[in-house]
Amino acid sequence: MRFRHRAAAGFATLLLPFAGLVGLASPAQAATSATATYAKTQDWGSGFEGKWTVKNTGTTTLSSWAVEWDFPSGTSVTSSWDADVTSAGTHWTAKNKSWNGTLAPGASVSFGFNGSGTGSPANCKLNGGSCDGGTTEPGDSAPSAPGTPTASDITDTSVKLSWSAATDDKGVKNYDVLRDGSKVATVTGTSYTGTGLTAGTDYSFSVQARDTADQTGPVSGAVRVRTTGGTTEPPPTGDKVKLGYFTEWGVYGRNYHVKNLVTSGTASKITHINYAFGNVKNGQCTVDDTYAAYDKAYAADQSVSGTADTWDQPLRGNFNQLRQLKAKYPHIKVLYSFGGWTYSGGFGQAAANAAAFAKSCKAVVEDPRWADVFDGIDIDWEYPNACGLSCDTSGPAAFRNLMSALRTEFGQNYLVTAAITADGSSGGKIDAADYGGAAQHLDWYNVMTYDYFGAFDKDGPTAPHSPLTSYPGIPQAGFDSADAIAKLKAKGVPAKKLLLGIGFYGRGWTGVTQSAPGGSATGAAPGTYEAGIEDYKVLKNSCPATGTIAGTAYAHCGSNWWSYDTPSTIAGKMSWAKNQGLGGAFFWEFSGDTAGGELATAIDSGLK
């Protein structure tokens, strides 16, 4: 996808309202040998600048830190840096960022804030212990992680969990049992029976040890449990896959949130959601924008459930909203998509150690805070052994090997899919990697049958960016959906494992005088977010279609020329997909549709 990741990188560093911030790292280990010291570095009468310094004075590495203190009434933090700061009344908590939580012996880290008022901090605690380095038992280490729980005796309303014991130098006192990231019980043994569950519902359970000094260790791996019974509602949309991409960064400038899937009526017409995108760094999967993913607070009127997020709840942001959406529409499956146009540069390193990469991806998908949210993983590598934003030279077998490792790691209970090139030309991108061999490990391919032509060729010729078939005068042979699907089938990919791609946007040129396709241009037409690109919901009114070519609409208005899909052209493409025996369709992305879900409705209707 040529323009997939418009990740609002700047938004990740914007100053956020403190009432909306919360650190969601694993519960910090109690300080064994560490100190937290405070200094007022500036004072301008009505306000001040403060700085905390956390130092590891022990002999073992500190994996995370949290500083707590009280301010007198009238004194508060107004902004901060290098820590996530939250408050509950006059009590303040600062937790490490993802990049500065680990402190080797002797190392220190500082974070600062601006404040209003004249008060000073009191009642300081560091990781639950004294800020001067003292604990109930100096030198006492936190316990290890217990083993991942196993589930048995699953009924409509209960499940039995058991796990291998954690270890601790002074002894383990008990275990906290976490359900969907929230503590539901504390037990002294290594088993627990959870009751009061809902029939036919997915849950995620993990455990955490607590030692005799009340220090908590790291959280175990998570086990997914689905209770028996209930009314397992079949997807209301037939037996075809109908999948849409939800962009992580869309919650910013686009102001598009999970609740929009409900208000537009789209949620009842899709079967799957790909959450885009996780990043690929240092050969590993990682969450990209943590604020949007699991920290952003939603008010009651913005939330799928109609309940406002609280400052201290374990999970917020898009992940929590997706959890609420799945509770309301249990037929929907959610996959975590990694890569995309911007983040595909990391796949070459990932492929060099595919097993380690797969393990890291599963750790992200199964994070105990949101393990119940995701039903699978989608890999969007643009492009293996070929060029996209960057060029990959990992060889034709790298993609197949990566997919094999993912299936081995995730097993058969998860969906494993991939978004792939639709370059059907001879010697093109489909020929560069073993898509046929990789197909045996995947549930399906999202074939990106769009972005074939656009104002990245600023002089034109004008052409539909998502042609279903070839046509006389097409600028590049093989750049159409039919040729791409035919080539993939010829390489041994079953038709049912191929989804046809639909763009919920148009691509356009300016400086165009010819209404029919094939005209010259002078550059990209103006767009709301990027020149040469515009959402369908805008184009349907600003530049209505004036014709069709190769199963796709085009429009000439003034000096601008656009191509895009409409409900009518989507109906034709869905009919073609069914006749080809394809597994369904997918689209990029939800926010380009109208407020009433016009295009999603066309896909749903066309695949019935």
Is residue 364 in a domain? yes
Q: Are residues 313 and 338 in the same domain?
A: yes
pLDDT interval class at 25 (50, 70, 90) = very low
Residues 297 and 181 in one domain: no
**pLDDT of 30 strictly over 70:** no
The pLDDT of residue 237 is above 80: no
What are the pLDDT digits (tens) for 98-116? 889 998 888 889 998 988 8
Q: Is 472 in the same domain as 326?
A: yes
Would residue 535 count as lying in a domain?
no
Q: Is the pLDDT of residue 212 over 70?
A: yes
DSSP result, 500-523: EEEESEEEEEES---SSTT---SE
Residues 159 and 272 in one domain: no
| Total Cβ atoms within 10 A of residue 185 | 15
**Percent of the chain with pLDDT strictly greater than 90:** 69
Query: What would the pLDDT profile of 318-337 be if each residue is shown by its tens digit?
Result: 999 999 999 999 999 999 99
- CATH classification of the domain holding 294: 3.20.20.80
Residues 367, 404, single domain; the answer is yes
Q: What is the pLDDT of residue 474?
A: 97
Residue 543 in domain: no
Q: Tell me, yes or no, whether 112 and 169 share the same domain.
A: no
pLDDT beyond 80 at 142: no
Residues 208 and 279 in one domain: no
177 and 251 belong to one structural domain: no
Contact 36, 52 (CB under 8 A): yes
Question: Which residue segment(s) compose the domain that 179 sits in?
Answer: 150-226
- 527 in a structural domain: no
Domain count of the fold of the chain: 3
Mean pLDDT of 487-496: 97
**Mean pLDDT calculated for residue range 504-530:** 97
Residue 68 catalytic? no
**Which has the closest alpha carbon to 600: 302, 64, 237?**
237
Tell me if 67 is assigned to some domain: yes
- Of these residues, 68, 248, 366, 382, which one is catalytic? 382
Check whether residue 347 and residue 454 sit in a common domain. Answer: yes
Residue 400 lies in a domain: yes
Tell me the per-residue pLDDT of 426-451, one tens digit each, with 9 for 90 and over: 999 999 999 999 999 999 999 999 99
Which of 226, 257, 272 finishes a domain? 226
> Distance between CA atoms of 337 and 418, rounded to whole angstroms?
8
- In this model, does residue 366 exceed pLDDT 50? yes
Interatomic CA distance for residues 241 and 444, integer angstroms: 10
Transcribe 46-76 into DSSP letters: SEEEEEEEEEE-SSS-B---EEEEE--TT-E
Asked if 355 and 487 sit in the same domain, the reply is yes
> Are 425 and 462 part of one and the same domain?
yes
Is the predicted pLDDT of residue 140 greater than 80, yes or no?
A: no
- Kindly state whether residue 38 falls inside one of the protein's structural domains: yes
Tell me the pLDDT tens digit for each residue of 460-469. Answer: 999 999 999 9
Contact of 415 with 335, CB cutoff 8 Å: yes
Same domain, 208 and 253: no
CATH number of the domain within which 37 lies: 2.60.40.290
pLDDT-derived band at 225, boundaries 50, 70, 90:
confident
Is 143's pLDDT higher than 50? yes
> Is 325 part of any domain?
yes
Residue 599 and residue 590 in contact, taking contact as beta carbons nearer than 8 Å: no
The CATH number assigned to the domain holding 173 equals: 2.60.40.10
